[in-house]
């Protein structure tokens, strides 16, 4: 299906992300710069204006390398056939997952149309504490392997060295802006993937300008940090941030935490601590509660989650490990079970806004609710986008998504204040 519609010369950016929260916070950067922006969940594309940004999650983060390669290759080829003129590969800002294989898969398909192309990789996100220097990735000034990403329960990171994270890559040190284009071109003559160091928003602005000058020959990959700079560099009119709409909601908010990250745990705890007991209900389902749809509904029924008039409901992932399954399979099964719980609560209570923490939970929840596409409005705070569903059983839902490790302990309180106008 072609993406092209209207009379304007098409400039359509496709964002292929390794998980759902990454797709959302990246396309939100384009929304911040005035692009009509959408989050695609199925093969069915929403009607798009000729200048637009569209993100899709490939759910490749926890997949083995060969699967991540083939899925990314096929998705890239599909976007090219659909009329995409620019592609952005969104990878985790802490390089979790099969990143090297995702880059290889995308580049193979992209070279079918642009044979001299190469990947420009820069997952730096200075606003979130992710920086690159001396060929290594740092989180809040700490080497990646010594940061919380080093003990991630599903994809622990054991090294911060890009020469190990992306074998065979070329590394371009941070330098004078006037020297950077030549250095990138020189590295690209010998390497398929060129890693560019960056430790500031200004460095990302400089890099995005170079990528725009190189055109489709440069296939950019990185976090939502570089995406914001590219949204300005690629926009035909320079891009201007749209004013945030008033989002004061009258219904209840449901917070779902499927992320096991300690940051997200504390954020949810702060919400529960800050509200009156009569205004919030918290439920953590056990692995046995998640064994079937009936047991999910029984677990909800035993709680206060369906009490009328409750402003905030919090649903949390079990702390116990599901025995007899790999971490990947266990996380998927938990996400599906939690999504069934969300669908049951949304059906039986007046839920107007969902706040979803963790990529697996986002994807499974939207699937359980029958959401095919989202219109992304903008970021509430850095890395936390707000969207609205284009269709959900005849009603619209406000959806806020957040990666588990993003933000400080008060981030969810800020989100709730924003939603209340």
Q: Are 144 and 134 in contact (CB under 8 A)?
A: no
> What percent of the chain is predicted at pLDDT more than 70?
91
Mean pLDDT of the chain: 87
Q: Boundaries of CATH 3.40.50.10840 in the chain?
A: 11-234
pLDDT tens, residue by residue, 286-329: 877 877 888 888 888 888 898 888 999 999 887 665 565 666 67
DSSP string, 97-148: SSHHHHHHHHHHHHTTT-TT-EEEEE--BGGGTEEEETTEEEETTEEGGGSG
What's the topology of domain 11-234? Rossmann fold (3.40.50)
Question: Using an 8 Å Cβ cutoff, are 255 and 312 in contact?
Answer: yes
Domain with CATH 3.40.980.20 in the chain: 252-419
Kind and range of the H or E run holding 360: helix 359-368
Give the pLDDT of residue 2: 43
> In the Cβ-directed half-sphere of 98, how many Cα atoms lie within 13 Å?
20
DSSP bridge partners of 128 = none
Would you state the pLDDT for residue 9? 64
Distance CA 406, CA 332 (A): 21
pLDDT in tens, 349-360: 889 999 999 877
CB 378 within 8 A of CB 386: yes
Please name the residues in contact with 82: beta carbons below 8 A apart, sequence gap of 6 or more: 1, 2, 3, 14, 45
User: pLDDT tens for residues 379-397?
Assistant: 888 889 999 987 655 578 9
pLDDT, tens only, 116-144: 999 999 999 999 899 999 999 999 999 99
If pLDDT is split at 50, 70 and 90, which confidence band does 240 have? low
Q: What is the pLDDT of residue 358?
A: 83
Between CA 209 and CA 207 the distance in angstroms is 5
Q: What is the dihedral of CA 286, 341, 17, 393, to 10 degrees?
A: 180
* pLDDT band at residue 175 using 50, 70 and 90 as cut-offs: confident
Band of residue 4 on the pLDDT scale cut at 50, 70, 90: very low
- The dihedral region occupied by 237, where left means phi > 0, alpha psi between -120 and 50, and beta the remainder, is alpha
In this prediction, residues 339-346 reach a mean pLDDT of 88
**CATH class, range 252-419:** alpha beta
List Cα–Cα distances, 95 to 122, 160, 205, 218, in angstroms: 10, 9, 21, 20
């Amino acid at each position: 299906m072609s993406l092209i519609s209207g009379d304007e010369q098409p400039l359509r950016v496709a964002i292929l992300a390794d998980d759902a929260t990454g797709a959302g916070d990246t396309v939100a950067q384009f929304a911040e710069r005035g692009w009509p922006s959408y989050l695609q969940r199925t093969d069915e594309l929403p009607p798009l204006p000729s200048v637009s940004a569209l993100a899709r999650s490939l759910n490749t983060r926890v997949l083995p390398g060969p699967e991540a390669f083939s899925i990314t290759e096929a998705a890239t080829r599909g976007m090219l056939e659909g009329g995409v003129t620019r592609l952005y590969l969104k990878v985790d800002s802490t390089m979790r997952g099969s990143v090297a294989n995702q880059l290889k898969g995308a580049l193979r398909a992209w070279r079918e149309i642009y044979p001299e192309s190469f990947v420009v990789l820069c997952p730096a996100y200075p606003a979130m504490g992710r920086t690159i220097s001396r060929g290594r990735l740092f989180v809040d000034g700490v080497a990646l392997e010594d940061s919380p990403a080093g003990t991630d329960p599903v994809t622990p990171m054991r090294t911060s060295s890009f020469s190990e994270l992306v074998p065979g890559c070329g590394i371009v040190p941070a330098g004078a802006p006037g020297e950077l284009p030549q250095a990138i071109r020189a590295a690209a003559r010998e390497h398929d993937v060129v890693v560019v160091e960056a430790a500031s928003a200004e460095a990302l602005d400089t890099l995005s300008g170079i990528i725009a000058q190189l055109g489709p020959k440069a296939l950019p990959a990185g976090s939502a940090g570089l995406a914001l700079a590219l949204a300005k560099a690629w926009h035909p009119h320079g891009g201007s941030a749209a004013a945030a709409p008033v989002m004061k909601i009258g219904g209840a908010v449901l917070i779902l935490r499927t992320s096991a990250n300690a940051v997200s745990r504390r954020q949810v705890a702060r919400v529960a601590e800050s509200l009156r007991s009569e205004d919030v209900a918290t439920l953590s389902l056990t692995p046995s509660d998640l064994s079937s749809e009936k047991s999910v509904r029984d677990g909800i029924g035993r709680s206060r989650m369906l009490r009328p008039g409750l402003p905030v409901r919090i649903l949390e992932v079990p702390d116990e490990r599901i025995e007899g399954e790999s971490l990947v399979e266990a996380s998927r099964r938990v996400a599906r079970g939690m999504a069934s719980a969300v669908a049951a609560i949304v059906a039986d209570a007046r839920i107007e806004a969902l706040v979803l923490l963790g990529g697996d939970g986002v994807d499974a929840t939207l699937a359980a609710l029958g959401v095919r596409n989202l219109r992304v409005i903008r970021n509430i705070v850095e890395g936390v986008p707000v969207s609205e569903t284009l269709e959900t059983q005849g009603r619209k839902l406000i959806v806020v998504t957040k990666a588990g490790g993003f933000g400080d302990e008060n981030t969810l309180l800020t989100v709730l204040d924003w939603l209340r106008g």
